[in-house]
Chains A and B, each alone.
Chain A
Amino acid sequence: MPLVKGNTVVADDYVHLADDAELPADGAVLITAERFLADPEAALSRKDKTGVIWPNNRDVDDLLPHLDRLAAVALVFPVFRDGRAYTQARLLRERFKFRGELRAIGQVLRDQFVFMLRAGFDAFEVKKQSDADAFANVAKRYSVFYQPTGDGRITAFHRRLMHLPEGVRS
């Protein structure tokens, strides 16, 4: 599955670890929420990066005690039209100030990139190679945004009030 980060396709340094596979001493891993919650210390005391795959029907509040030590959180889109992870992403970024990698996994297609970026995702396991290749273009498809979200873009509301010239990108 191609991974997009920083607008380009990059090599994925994380391994999705199966629940029955042994936790390796080094190397970046993504482990499931159950495994993580069963023994957070074991996962977090490794010397390499640990990330957790968080299902979209579980409160992200449960992650709060561990957030500053987690390198990555992967949120799941089981199907394109299931948008629960957008809410989780915004909560993690805006309310809980999570600064690690926020990764979208599952049915990740080009038509969601703009929404995902705005919700705070910064890494994308994209389903189709063609969508991954198109990422940079699709990401700049929209230049004006109405709603304030944690991505820090200036909204149309504020541009008007500040009389910013058209086409100013934040």
Chain B
Amino acid sequence: MYAYDELDRTIVNERVSEFRDQVARRLSGELTEDEFKSLRLMNGVYLQLHAYMLRIAIPYGTLSSKQLRALAHVARKYDRGYGHFTTRQNIQYNWIKLAELPDALADLAKVGIHGMQTSGNCIRNVTSDQWAGVAPGEVEDPRIWAEILRQYSTLHPEFSFLPRKFKFAITASDHDRAAIKVHDIGLRIHRNAAGESGFEVLVGGGLGRTPFIAKTINEFVSHRDILSYVEAILRVYNQYGRRDNIYKARIKILVHELGIEKFKQEVEEEWVQMRDGALALDAAEVEDIRSRFFYPKYEKLSDTPDELKKALQNPNFEAWYKNSVAAHKAPGYGIVTLSLKPVGGPPGDATAEQMDEIADLAEKYSFGEIRVGHEQNLALPHVARRDLPALWRALDKIGVATPNVNLVTDIIACPGLDYCSLANARSIPIAQEITRRFANHDTANLIGRLHVNISGCINACGHHHVGHIGILGVEKNGEEFYQITIGGRADENAVLGHLVGPAVPFDQVADVIEDIVEAYLALRQRPDELFVDAVKRLGVEPFKERVYATR
């Protein structure tokens, strides 16, 4: 956990007072909706189908129990008792009244939470691996760097009016849980031949209308130079990124149009002029940020305590344990993922009661810390393995122990037509229907790891391009249709999925998914050949045949 000090808190409070003034000017009519728009967006406020929507940042996905309780409080007091965790380590509220927004933000500010830079054409909330700091084998805790970037980018005087939004993601593990290759800048912390840790910098990834996998611009940028290096990229982008067409304004288009070689040359020409300036980081600065992170004092515990051995005789516990508990860097501890994907529920939603309860359980079992991942699930990062049975019972009671993490029912979905004014089609009901079809845990388990991602329009908020199975809502003659892609992935081997065939109507989507899964079960070489690997080996054809043979 990073502990905000008086300086961090001052900025958040000053932001709230600025926004209070802006809302007052809007309510008095001094600002028109049009003028207010870019100001509210800079604080995460959208105007949606039903009401204003508030998006709150959860930087690098780390929350304290106190912060989670504050999120629950806002859900209860200003909204309808729930919040929606998104794919960008944010939470969204859909029903807050404009006049109450400043109060909601002021309540969150007390615990160091805000809506700054969750929207608008600025550097957005910096995201990271939800297992950062606890995953075994990590080079170092990437959140130190996410925090340095958070501070660097917050209210940046040069980069708050970029051509388009700008997203950073950072990881320090071999296995990429932060989807860095589909971000504007992806950072991978690794060691060079001399054993020194530094950054592989990737640029120009992104989804939406024109999806791209990011390209490496520099294999190794040192700790000292990382801020100046990203500033050079941002500066080139701010000057030369297209502003004539919002669909071509993202940095991925600039990188694509110039080519990575030419783009790199521009960046490095800029960089040589500033790398020794005020942004060069010295070890003391990094150490100071590092020292503000609090790490639990782990006990020396057994990996196989009696409590756990005994509980494993219960098949329900065993199923959950196998699915939801991951190895931890400290012996005797585990990382527990809490599924926000109950059968038949909207992916990513949590009620105020659930949030409060999870905050309490985190205090009791996880040193008061909670994580939010881009898969729209939560995690408790430091649970003693002897406590797992008790924790499981408590999680089960509040409905967040569905043992489906990474299985076919662990669906990522955007809000789609149910909430979003840009949508062409519904997403949530599709997700709900698929979870019902695969509700049987044994079936889902037999299928193994399979990521289904759903977006209600081309903007790709549900990351459909990089779903093992991607579902994209499109509109045809006023009706909802869905294009289906397979073979995408968002990890260290990220690729975009391939279209299976013509779009299908709403009521056939779940059938088609079932067909694809059945084809996979028939075609896989071994039970442990993952769906995506089978698609990679076989191509789209056999799946296409299966789906369209009878349609």
Report A's interface with B, CB cutoff 8 A. 80-84, 86-88, 90, 94-95, 109, 111-112, 114-116, 118-119, 130, 141-149, 156-157, 159-161, 166
Contacts and interface: CB of A to CB of B under 8 A. Distances in A.
Given A111-B22, A119-B157, A87 B235 contact: yes
B126 to A, nearest CB: 13
A109 B10 CA distance: 24
A106 to B, nearest CB: 12
B549 interface: no
B157 A147 contact: yes
B243 A149 contact: no
30 contacts: A80-B38, A80-B161, A83-B158, A83-B160, A83-B238, A88-B239, A95-B273, A109-B35, A114-B157, A115-B155, A116-B157, A118-B157, A119-B157, A142-B11, A142-B14, A143-B10, A144-B7, A144-B11, A146-B11, A146-B155, A147-B152, A148-B278, A149-B157, A149-B158, A156-B11, A156-B151, A157-B151, A159-B7, A161-B285, A166-B10
A91 B8 CA distance: 28
Please provide the 7 A-B residue pairs with the shortest distance between their CB atoms, ordered closest to farther.
Answer: A83-B161, A118-B157, A148-B278, A115-B157, A156-B7, A146-B151, A86-B158
A84 B160 CA distance: 10
Contacts of A115: 155, 157-158, 160-161
B43 to A, nearest CB: 11
Nearest to A112: B161
A154 to B, nearest CB: 11
B284 A161 contact: yes
Contacts of B14: 141-144
Contacts of B157: 86, 114-116, 118-119, 147, 149
Interface of B: 5-8, 10-11, 14, 17-18, 22, 30, 35, 38-39, 121, 151-152, 154-162, 235, 238-239, 243, 273-274, 277-279, 284-285, 288
A166 B6 contact: yes
A71 to B, nearest CB: 24
A88 B239 CA distance: 8
Given A81-B38, A84-B238, A147-B152, A157 B161 contact: no
Contacts of B7: 144, 156, 159-160, 166
B38 to A, nearest CB: 6
Contacts of B160: 83, 86, 115
B117 to A, nearest CB: 12
A160 B288 contact: yes
Contact of B152 (A109, A130, A146): A146
Contacts of A111: 22, 39
B279 A148 contact: yes
A143 B155 CA distance: 12
A141 B15 CA distance: 8
B161 A87 contact: no
B69 to A, nearest CB: 26
B239 A84 contact: yes
Contact of B158 (A81, A119, A142, A145): A119
A83 B162 contact: yes
Nearest to B41: A81
Contacts of A157: 151, 285, 288
A9 to B, nearest CB: 18
A81 B161 contact: yes
B285 A87 contact: no
Contacts of B39: 111
Contacts of B152: 146-147
A116 B160 CA distance: 11
Contacts of A81: 38, 121, 161
Contacts of A88: 239
Given A147-B152, A148-B278, A160 B158 contact: no
B345 to A, nearest CB: 38
Given A84-B238, A142-B11, A90 B158 contact: yes
B271 to A, nearest CB: 13
Nearest to B30: A130
B528 to A, nearest CB: 47
A139 B8 CA distance: 19
Nearest to A88: B239
Contacts of B284: 161
Contacts of B121: 81, 83
A170 B158 CA distance: 20
A112 B155 CA distance: 11
Contacts of A160: 5, 7, 288
A86 B239 CA distance: 10
Contacts of A90: 158
A141 B18 contact: yes
Nearest to A89: B158
Contacts of B151: 146, 156-157
A146 B12 CA distance: 12
Nearest to A160: B288
A94 B279 CA distance: 13
B158 A82 contact: no
Contact of A86 (B17, B22, B30, B161): B161
Nearest to B161: A83
B289 to A, nearest CB: 8
Nearest to B239: A87
Given A82-B243, A83-B162, 9 more contacts: A83-B121, A83-B158, A84-B238, A86-B160, A141-B17, A146-B154, A146-B155, A147-B157, A156-B8
Contacts of B277: 94, 148
A82 B10 contact: no
Contacts of A109: 35
A46 B39 CA distance: 43
A77 B412 CA distance: 40
Contacts of A118: 157
A88 B158 CA distance: 9
Contacts of A149: 157-158, 278
Nearest to A146: B151
A80 B121 CA distance: 12
A120 to B, nearest CB: 9
B267 to A, nearest CB: 14
B11 to A, nearest CB: 5
B5 A83 contact: no
Q: Determine which residue in A83, A95, A115 has the highest number of CB atoms from chain B within 10 A of its CB, and name it.
A: A83
